[in-house]
Chains A and B, each alone.
Chain A
Amino acid sequence: MNHTVTLIALASLASCDPPEDYVELANLSSAPFASKASIESDSARDAYVIEMSVGVALATACWDTCYPDKLCKLTSLDTDTLGVRPLYRLGTSNADDFVLVAQKVGTTTLRVDSACASQDYVVRVVAR
């Protein structure tokens, strides 16, 4: 009996891979009237999608599991469609806060890089 329990416990431990490091974005602001601004970071469905109405500026924070924490870098692959600017906020380090700017209707990719992980977001800029 004791051997069985031990074997089950060892088998369980063996199947537990260490959690993978990851990086994702979270909203710091919301959409204005009659507009869209959403960030979906769903690892279970592997859905990393940002949807914004054209003209919206969305403040976002980059969050990662890196230790020690390093600065995030955000890169828009189409800067005509999606702009990225740093955000200053009093009382924070500001290093991981950004403003996403929906400049033109279209679809592009936002690459989020941190010291230990990277994540691509599909960005859809839609008409109001």
Chain B
Amino acid sequence: MIRLALSSILMTAACGAGDGLGGRPGEFGQVEAAPECGALSQACIGQGLDAPIAKGSTLDIAVEYKVAGSSGPPTLLASANQAVITTPGPTQISAIAEGMSAVMFVGPAGEVIDLIHVFVQKSSELRINRYDEAGDLLGRVQSSSQLIVGDEILVAVEPFAGGQPLLGNFDLTYASTAAPVVTIVPDPVGGWYRVIARSAGMANVSFTALGLDVSWQIEVLP
């Protein structure tokens, strides 16, 4: 009788995972977790936790409950490995070192409602990606480009490691060597930047984040 019950438990556990649409299901399919990224990072396309998190970044996690018969309870995130992931906010994790850690969704009585394992990786490269106004990825910008006065380009700067896009929100600084030629304006959507060609000339645009930088040589034609 007890063995049968145990088999039933194991079967339930094995078959309990969700289909992953819209987010990443937890170990038991009771929670679906999706990253809330500031920019339309490539790793956020599809809103799944489908990539490692960039070391030095933070990530807000949106939780969708799949438990029938109850609303989502007050929930806190808890990290299994505080040397890798910390939880500075109720729905936010911070990736402080390379490695792996479980993130647990903890209910009001301290019970684990579900859990998911996440990986943290150090970024090896920043890429400037261009998006159209609808938010669709157009591609990676070339290291040098020509624009025409009046052009306005929407970009996001995204971390990669070994060619794989990484998740996470992070502080980013930007500069243009010739602001009258090319101006960078942060978009109201966090993580997006508008690069505006204002007058003919040459400018070097640079972005710095996560200990890395990337530059973009722009010639603006009249």
Contact = CB atoms under 8 A, between A and B. Distances in A.
B183 to A, nearest CB: 44
A65 B12 CA distance: 21
B212 interface: no
B111 A92 contact: no
B157 to A, nearest CB: 28
Contact of A85 (B83, B100, B112, B117): B112
Of the listed residues B28, B30, B68, B113, the one surrounded by the most CB atoms of chain A closer than 10 A to its CB is: B28
Interface string A35-73: 100000000000000000111110101011100010000
B6 A26 contact: yes
Contacts of B111: 85-88, 94
B67 interface: yes
A128 interface: yes
Interface stretch (B101-109, B158-166, B199-207): B101-109
B110 A128 contact: no
B82 interface: yes
Contacts of A89: 12-13, 16, 28, 30
Q: Determine the main DSSP class of A at the interface with B.
A: loop
Contact of A35 (B6, B28, B84, B100): B100
Nearest to A65: B2
A57 to B, nearest CB: 3
Interface centre among B10, B84, B101 (most CB of A within 10 A): B101
Given A63-B2, A85-B110, A102-B80, A26 B28 contact: no
Given A85-B111, A99-B112, A55 B81 contact: yes
Contact of B112 (A26, A32, A35, A87): A87
Contacts of A54: 81, 99
Contact of B9 (A61, A83, A88, A104): A61
B9 A56 contact: no
Interface in B66-112: 67-68, 80-84, 99-102, 104, 106-107, 109-112
A29 B14 CA distance: 8
Contact of B80 (A91, A92, A97, A103): A103
B20 to A, nearest CB: 15
B126 interface: no
B12 A101 contact: no
Given A55-B80, A88-B112, 10 more contacts: A29-B27, A32-B100, A33-B119, A55-B99, A57-B112, A85-B106, A89-B12, A89-B30, A90-B67, A99-B112
For the complex of A and B, list the 9 residue pairs with the smallest distance between their C-beta atoms, beginning with the closest.
A57-B102, A55-B81, A32-B117, A55-B101, A88-B111, A99-B112, A86-B111, A55-B100, A28-B13
